[in-house]
Amino acid sequence: MAATTDQPTAPPRDHNRTREDFYGDIAPLNMTPLWEVMSSLITPEPVSRVKPCLWRYDEVRPWLLRSGDVISAKEAERRVLILENPGMPGESKITNSLYAGLQLILPGEVAPSHRHAQSALRFIVEGEGAYTAVDGERASMSRGDLILTPSWTWHDHGNETEEPTVWLDGLDIPIVQAFETSFVERYPEDSQPVSRPSGDSAARFGHNMRPFGYVAASGASPVFSYPYADYREALEQMRARDEWDVCDGLKMEFINPIDGGPVMPTISCFVQLLPKGFATDPYRSTAASVYSVVDGEGEAVIGEQAYDLHERDVIVVPSWVPVRFSAGDDLVLFSFSDRGIQQKLGLWREQRGHSPGSG
């Protein structure tokens, strides 16, 4: 290691120059002082750019259907209205790390096949019997079902029914942006060939079994369909025990049965039941969450603001902002977040109940 004595000495000091002058001097060298921005970079608590926001399905639906007149699924490739957080206009985000949108596919339409580095979930909001094809297998999409199209899996969507189908898309687009790892490929045809019967993945991986000697190729679940009927029955069976968590009611996480982790490495999915009349204690965590109302109605209080909840509504809760739910009728909520990554990275925190001194 050479000595540093031959380094140029600092420019002569000039007592008339200010800090601002100094900042100007170093700017051309692509340098800027930390001490002017440190308090905004490293905050005592999360300062979220995300605003609480509710999308009322009865308001949104007419415009969603109208998008069917505005553009075809084929031209759009994906006919989606992004649910864009008002705190971050123009950024195509619902939270700072996640994307959400409502996708419409009309009878006879196909959303053409492609694959991308981004991981996606589809939570069906309206319709019965359209399909999503994943790596050669078609899964039927009905109200309340959760469908996965993990990173780099070929997927297309089709609607061979007589009714429009609508689902909530949840993707990790902002995460892939943050790491600058986007890749996408289009399939030569609109629909990929069907190479596996429906139910094949569920048969192989969905019943606490897996093929002998199977080795996972990725961190995503090979089970890409989580039907409404399954989790609804599970919640009702659990209800028989009447143990309700004061913050969550009865809450389950959908898992990857190959490793017991989140369904996809970047997105964790949950469903919970709050019985009629139940009101939760306040809860906050660093994992901002997107909720879709599956069944029932109730209210969410985020920070100080109250929101009525009805079936199919979507609502977003920012990082570290307390939320309370109350159920006017048996309330079933689906939600997704980046909780799984935050835990892997040692960044996740939660606070249950009222914070000290918050009354």
User: Of 61 and 324, which has the nearer Cβ to a second copy?
Assistant: 61
- Judged by beta carbon, residue 33 or residue 277, the one nearer a second copy is 33
CA separation for the pair 224, 147 (Å, rounded): 5
**Strand 99-105 to 350-352 pairing:** unpaired
* Strand ranges across the sheet with 184-186: 137-142, 128-134, 155-158, 110-116, 184-186
Closest approach, Cβ 253 to a second copy, in A, equals 5
Please, which of residues 3-32 interact with a second copy by CB under 8 A?
Answer: 4, 7-11, 13, 19, 22, 25-26, 29-32
Which of 199, 303, 328, 353 lies at the binding interface for a second copy (CB under 8 A)? Answer: 199
List Cβ neighbours of 102 (8 Å cut-off, separation of 6 or more): 55, 60, 64, 80, 81, 83, 125, 166, 167, 168, 169, 314
In the list 16, 162, 188, 212, the residue contacting a second copy (rule: CB under 8 A) is 212
Please tell me the total number of residues recorded for the chain in this structure: 359
Q: Residue 186's closest CA among 162, 206, 156?
A: 156
Q: Shortest CA distance to 282 belongs to which of 337, 339, 347, 359?
A: 359
Q: For residue 30, which amino acid is it?
A: N
Closer residue to a second copy in complex, CB, 131/224: 224
Instruction: Show the binding pattern over residues 60-99: x = contacts a second copy (CB under 8 A), - = does not.
Output: xxxx-xxx-xxx---xxxxxxxxxxxx-----x--xxx-x
Binder among 24, 38, 129, 354 for a second copy (CB under 8 A)? 38
Query: Rounded to the nearest whole angstrom, what is the least distance from the CB of residue 50 to a second copy in the complex?
Result: 7
As given in the structure block, the two tokens for residue 193 are 């060939």
Residues numbered 291-330 forming contacts with a second copy, rule: CB under 8 A: 294-295, 311-312, 318-320
Smaller CB distance to a second copy: residue 158 or 318?
318
* CA 173 centroid distance within chain: 9
Q: For a second copy, which is the closer residue by CB, 230 or 281? A: 230
Using CB under 8 A as the binding rule, whether residue 282 contacts a second copy is answered as no
Query: CB under 8 A: which stretch of 105-113, 232-240, 275-283, 301-309 binds a second copy?
Result: 232-240
At its nearest, how many Å lie between a second copy and the CB of residue 168? 13
Residues 115-174 that bind a second copy (CB under 8 A): 116-118, 126, 143-144, 151, 173-174
Q: Given candidates 131, 167, 231, 336, which one binds a second copy under the rule CB under 8 A?
A: 231
Interacting positions 258-277 with a second copy (CB under 8 A)? 258-260, 265-266, 270-272
**254 or 291: CB nearest a second copy:** 254
Of residues 157, 127, 160, 133, the one with CA closest to residue 145: 127
Torsion over CA: 170, 176, 177, 182 (sign): negative
Q: Which residues contact 340 (CB under 8 A, 6 or more apart)?
A: 261, 262, 265, 266, 267, 268
User: Of 188, 304, 345, 359, which lies in the binding site for a second copy, with binding defined by CB under 8 A?
Assistant: 345
CA distance 192 to 141: 17
Helix (H, G, I), strand (E, B) or coil at 87: coil
